[in-house]
Amino acid sequence: MASKKKILKKIQILITNQFDSPEDAFNFFDKKGSGKLSKTEIVNLLKQAEINGFIRGFVSTKLIEGYDKDGDGLISWKEFKKAVAEIKD
């Protein structure tokens, strides 16, 4: 299984290479325009980041567990921004 580090690197590359800013990436994947990313929307992000299909579900669950600070099961823009900053480190 791909390491957490490799997965986060792929996400970072996606955001850096395909979008002008993390905000652009967030808005692109927030298909419903709810201001929050659902598990399904995060799975789409992982697909775009070329994360193996077999682990996308698991990885999205782990990402939500790690970055959903208010515990609503969704990743808000604020939480996303913080996650992107942490990934960069």
Chain residues binding Ca ion by CB under 5 A are 68, 70, 72, 74
- The nearer residue to Ca ion, 45 or 74, going by C-beta atoms, is 74
Q: In the bound complex, which residue of the shown chain has the CB atom lying closest to Ca ion?
A: 68
- The nearer residue to Ca ion, 24 or 72, going by C-beta atoms, is 72
Q: Which of 37, 34, 18, 33 lies closest to 81 in space, CA to CA?
A: 37
User: In the complex, what is the shortest distance from the CB of residue 31 to Ca ion, in angstroms, rounded to a whole number?
Assistant: 17
User: In the complex, what is the shortest distance from the CB of residue 86 to Ca ion, in angstroms, rounded to a whole number?
Assistant: 15
Q: What is the dihedral of CA 31, 34, 37, 39, to 10 degrees?
A: -80
Helix ranges (H only) for the chain are 4-18, 22-29, 39-48, 56-67, 77-88
- The nearer residue to Ca ion, 50 or 86, going by C-beta atoms, is 86
C-alpha dihedral sign at 52, 56, 62, 66: positive
User: In the complex, what is the shortest distance from the CB of residue 18 to Ca ion, in angstroms, rounded to a whole number?
Assistant: 24
- The nearer residue to Ca ion, 36 or 56, going by C-beta atoms, is 36
